[in-house]
Amino acid sequence: MDWSVLLDNARLFLLVFARVAALLRVAPVTSSSAIPPLARGALAFFAAVVLFNFAGNVYGPLPETALGFAAVVIAEILLGIIMGLFLQIVFAVFQTAGQLFSFQMGFGASQVYDPLAQVEIPLIGQFLNLIGLAVFLSVSGMQKMFFSGLATSFRVLKGTDFLAASDYLNETFITAIGGLFGQSLILAFPILGTLMLVSVTMGLLAKAAPQMNLLMVGFPIQIGVGFIVLLISAPFLAEKMSSIIDMSFNWMQQYFLATKEALP
């Protein structure tokens, strides 16, 4: 990389850096408080150096006034945040499915700290988050975030473009959120369906034989059955998580291309 090119195009490089840094601040893994801000900033800088080559033709003339250039920088930051939210929605899906698991298994009151979301979530929700994180890294999620996400965005879109097509952004976000949270129900269905049958069966037994103290054995049975079903359905969960992650990147790319076509 010829550093003189970066120095000659310092304002353009600042726009690239703003989008990359905003994405890394919001995206899964890199937004964790366990990552030092200096390390995140260094990653954003070197990623911006690599991605600078993709941003040459899409920006055109930059504003000459300080106020106009500041508005363009803010637009780049907002676009980076939106890209990160597309990926955060995926982990919200895993967390939602885990919460459904926890409540049905009797772990609704057990809360653990999630360092990624920086909130307390149910135990099984954290477990599914960790599985989702492992799947995200195993399917090259970080590489896709840089090449399928950022590189594609710099080829077709500048920060102010998504503001011009804000109506399409709202429609895309509603579709993405609705579709992804529908996937959380699919993720939760094996355990929810099984534990619902267990609850119905114990209810019928309690009605047929009131002398049986099913309240004492009901919770251990639900927890045991829940863990067994979770173990059996683990391959299905990992495969479904992989498809959800791919779906989020596909939606992101479709949003970039459709926004470009929607521009006047």
pLDDT digits (tens, 9 = 90+) for 72-117: 888 888 888 888 887 888 888 887 777 777 777 776 666 666 655 5
The whole-number average pLDDT for the span 240-258 is: 79
pLDDT digits (tens, 9 = 90+) for 32-63: 777 888 888 888 888 888 888 777 666 667 77
Dihedral sign computed on CA atoms, order 105, 111, 113, 114 = positive
List, in order, residues 6 or more apart from 180 with CB less than 8 Å away.
89, 90, 92, 93, 244, 247, 248
pLDDT band for position 140 (cuts 50, 70, 90): confident
Q: Which two tokens stand for residue 21?
A: 């840094």
Structural domains counted in the chain: 1
The whole-number average pLDDT for the span 125-151 is: 80
pTM: 0.78
pLDDT of 178 strictly over 80: no
| Distance (Å, whole) CA 195 – CA 201 | 10
Report the amino acid identity of residue 208.
A
Q: Which two tokens stand for residue 176?
A: 């993405």
Instruction: Provide the pLDDT for residue 119.
Output: 64
pLDDT digits (tens, 9 = 90+) for 226-236: 788 888 888 88
Q: Which two tokens stand for residue 119?
A: 């909130």
List, in order, residues 6 or more apart from 75 with CB less than 8 Å away.
158, 159, 160, 162, 163
pLDDT of 243 strictly over 60: yes
- Please tell me the chain's helix, strand, coil percentages from 3-state DSSP, rounded to the nearest 5: 80, 5, 15
The residue range of the domain holding 178 is 3-262
pLDDT of 131 strictly over 80: yes
In this structure, what are the phi and psi dihedrals at residue 112, rounded to the nearest 5 degrees? -130, 155
Instruction: Provide the pLDDT for residue 167.
Output: 64
Burial label for 60, CB within 10 Å (0-12, 13-18, 19+), is exposed
